[in-house]
Amino acid sequence: MTLNKIHQYDYIIIGSGFGGSISALRLAEKGYKVLVIEKGKKYEVDDFPKSNWNLKKWIWLPSVGFYGIMKMTFYKHIGILSGTGVGGGSLVYANTLPMPKDEFYNSGSWKDLCDWKTELKPHYEIAKKMLGSALNPKLGQGDLVMKDIAKKRGIENHFAPTEVAIFFGESDKEVDDPYFGGKGPRRSACTFCGGCMTGCRFNAKNTLDKNYLYLAQKLGVEVIAEQEVYDVHPINNANGQDGYFVISKKSTSLLKSKSTFSTKNVIFSGGVLGTMNLLLKLKKKKLPNLSNRLGMDIRTNNEALIFNITADNSYNLSEGIAIGSILDVDKSTHLEVVRYNKSSGFWRIGMLPNVEGGNLFHRIAQLISKYLTNPLAYLKITTVNNFGNKSAVLLFMQHIDTKLSFSKGLFRLKTSLTEGKKPVSQIPLAYDLAEEYSKKIGGKPMVFLSETLFNIPSTAHILGGAVMGDNIKNGVIDKYNKVFGYKNLMICDGSTVSANPGVNPSLTISAITEHAMNNIPYKRDI
Report helix, strand or coil for 273: helix
Question: Phi and psi dihedrals of 81, rounded to 5?
Answer: -105, 130
For the beta carbon of residue 196, count every other beta carbon within 10 angstroms: 30
Q: Is 247 in contact with 258 (CB distance < 8 Å)?
A: yes
Full DSSP string of 153-176? TT-GGGEEEPEEEB----TT-EES
Residue 383 burial (C-beta neighbours within 10 Å; 0-12, 13-18, 19+): exposed
Q: Is 300 in contact with 76 (CB distance < 8 Å)?
A: no
Residue 108 burial (C-beta neighbours within 10 Å; 0-12, 13-18, 19+): buried
158: annotated active-site residue: no
Contacts of 320 (CB under 8 A, 6+ apart): 136, 138, 139, 140, 141, 142, 143, 192, 194, 339
Question: Phi and psi dihedrals of 74, rounded to 5?
Answer: -120, 130
Q: Among the options 7, 123, 334, 461, which is catalytic?
A: 461
CA distances from 481 to 87, 130, 263, 464 (A): 21, 21, 18, 13
80-84 long-range contacts, Cβ below 8 Å, gap at least 24?
A: 80/273, 80/458, 80/459, 80/460, 80/462, 81/458, 81/459, 81/460, 82/271, 82/272, 82/273, 82/460, 82/462, 83/17, 83/271, 84/39, 84/40, 84/60
Cα–Cα–Cα angle for 303, 305, 308, nearest 5°? 145
Task: Report CA 184 to chain centroid distance, whole Å.
Answer: 24
How many whole angstroms separate alpha carbon 72 and alpha carbon 166?
25
Q: Is 36 in contact with 217 (CB distance < 8 Å)?
A: no
Contacts of 462 (CB under 8 A, 6+ apart): 78, 80, 82, 272, 273, 298, 299, 300, 301, 494
Task: Report CA 227 to chain centroid distance, whole Å.
Answer: 20
Question: Phi and psi dihedrals of 495, rounded to 5?
Answer: -70, -15
HEC readout, 103-146: HHHCCCCCCCCCCHHHHHHHHHHHHHHHCCEEECCCCCHHHHHH
CA distances from 29 to 217, 220, 221 (A): 11, 10, 10
CA distances from 494 to 116, 326, 346, 371, 421 (A): 17, 22, 27, 40, 22
User: Active-site residue numbers?
Assistant: 461
